[in-house]
Structure 1
Amino acid sequence: MVKKWFGQGCGFGRKNHNGRCGLKACSGVPLSAKRTCGRTKVCSITGDRKHCARLAAMGLYPGNEIELVSAPDGENCLVRVHGGTISIDRDTLDHIVVTD
């Protein structure tokens, strides 16, 4: 799936003109600000190339639909991606921008 995404010429893994990894700027909120569980869509990934590559390896990239299993009330939260559940820390959650 990631190989297909790279083949579309989206610029994932490098910063484009707005400083985000992804196709375009979005008016979403960081995943750390979400207080309700449920499905949402990843709008963009902020941060440097290392953050983008690490999140892509976990299956999180712009345009991907994810499910927030537990809201980030403390340091970590649970996110379901492609049928698997991963735990993400607060610092990484700040780099994932999702639509409302």
Structure 2
Amino acid sequence: MVKKWFGQGCGWRQRKHNGDCSCRPCNGVPLSNKRTCGKVKVCSISGDRKKCARLAALGFYPGNEIELVDAPNGDRCLVRVQGGTISLDRDTLNTIVVTE
């Protein structure tokens, strides 16, 4: 699944993979900076391959729509993805870039 979502269209096999799985730049903001609840679209995910694979298994991949249930006001945040609610910490929120 990781190759399908993070590997297509960016030529990651041709270029040297530096541990960042975000392929295209986007004009979004990190999920940790969102202060209002509601639906947002995942633009990109940064981090090493293991973290990207884990987030993809949970349903966080570019183009997927997620719902911010409880806006980040401390160290934790609640996010609804594909019918399930997940609690994410501040470090993970910083790696997920979203757009409205």
**Which TM-score applies when normalising by structure 1?**
0.81
Q: Which has the larger radius of gyration?
A: 2
* One-letter identity of the residue aligned with 2:4: F
> Is there any run of 5+ residues in structure 2 with no aligned partner, and where?
none
Q: Please provide the CA RMSD for this pair.
A: 3.0
Which residue does the alignment assign to 1:10? 8
The percentage of aligned residue pairs carrying the same residue is 66
Question: 1:56 and 2:56 equivalent?
Answer: yes
Preserved contact between residue 19 and residue 49 of structure 2 (Cα < 8 Å): no
For this pair of structures, how many residues does the alignment match? Answer: 97
* One-letter identity of the residue aligned with 1:51: K
* One-letter identity of the residue aligned with 2:42: V
> Is there any run of 5+ residues in structure 1 with no aligned partner, and where?
none
Give me the whole-angstrom Cα distance separating, in 2, the residues matched to 1:78 and 1:58.
13
**Which TM-score applies when normalising by structure 2?**
0.81
SS in 2 for 1:94: helix
Displacement after TM superposition at 1:35 (Å): 0.2
